Amino acid sequence: MIDPLQKGHSHWQNIKHTKGEQDALRGKETQMLTLRIKNALKDNASTDPKVNNELGRCIDSGKQKNIAMDTILRIIRNTASKNESTREEIIECTGAGGLKFIIQAFTDLPKRTRPDIQARLKKFGATIDKQGTATRSFERKGFVDVELNEEDSRNHDDHIELAIEAEADDVSMETREDGIDVLQFQCNYLVVNQVRKYLESKGLNVVYAESVFIPIPTSIVQMSSDNMEKLYKLIDKVKEVEGVEEVFINAEPES
């Protein structure tokens, strides 16, 4: 069902790093891109992004994070020349008071990644749990953001029609955390790349295309500002583990 367009702020945005360690963050992003490219080439050996859709998503992700194209191409060449591969790991965790974590990692060493994560969770009183424990508290969705600018002359009806053509479930106007106004298409997480490619074929500038885990409203846990601060620090620690890309939680600050 395509809802009328509304202007607002994306409520689902992931927790972002706020520290000034930009060099470390850039190194982490490059490392993460390398792991994702390994995963893409595991499923499809082609280094042509037109043939290997997941590799195309990796390239787009690298561009969105301002990683130089020369660096991206070098990672692809180096990865293709090695017989290495990684896989996506969805690690489900629980904490006190109904707190749930979903940790998305891309790693070729899952037996090392999980213990490293567990060691950090333990300090917060959380633990890795069995499959299905945390995911039932979230819904996985795909989001594709298209940059809006003065040259974009489409009206709201055109945007809705475009969403229908792209087989997206919803479309809205949003302002991202970096201040960029975007047209945000919401879709099934399995067709994110399909929606992205369709929008690009229409000459639109896609600035973000990923799948995310959104907490179901009835599962959201409200926490004090002190506990939220501790949780943010824990997430930063978990993201330091090699291979970890994102951490999703069902918590928000008390209103």
> What is the count of structural domains for the chain?
2
Taking alpha carbons only, the member of 101, 105, 104 closest to residue 134 is 101
Say yes or no: 93 and 76 in one domain. no
pLDDT band at residue 118 using 50, 70 and 90 as cut-offs:
very high
The pLDDT, as a whole number, for residue 130 is 93
The pLDDT-based confidence of 186 (bands split at 50, 70, 90) is very high
Q: Does residue 4 form part of some domain?
A: no
One domain for residues 36 and 141:
no
pLDDT at 234 over 50: yes
In the chain, the percentage of residues whose pLDDT exceeds 70 is 83
Residue 16 lies in a domain: no
Condensed to tens digits (0 to 9), the pLDDT of residues 12-37 reads 444 333 333 444 455 667 777 887 88
Q: Are residues 65 and 103 in the same domain?
A: no
What pLDDT does 28 receive? 65
**Residue numbers of the domain that contains 102:** 88-255
Domain limit, last residue, from 38, 54, 80: 80
Indicate whether 11 belongs to any domain: no
177 falls within a domain: yes
- Please report whether residue 10 resides in a domain: no
**What is the rounded distance in angstroms from the CA atom of residue 176 to the CA atom of residue 12?**
10
Assess whether 132 and 240 both reside in one domain. yes
Average pLDDT, the chain: 82
Rounded to whole angstroms, how far apart are CA atoms 244 and 88?
Answer: 10
Whether 187 maps to a domain, the answer reads yes
Nearest to residue 234, comparing CAs of 221, 244, 219?
244
Q: How confident is the model at residue 154 (pLDDT cuts 50, 70, 90)?
A: low
Domain containing 168 — which CATH number?
A: 3.30.70.980
Q: Which one, of 184, 102, 97, lies nearest residue 148 by Cα?
A: 184
**Residue 75 shares a structural domain with residue 146:** no
Strands (E) in 111-243, as ranges, are 127-128, 138-147, 170-175, 181-188, 206-215, 221-223
Q: Is residue 249 part of a domain?
A: yes
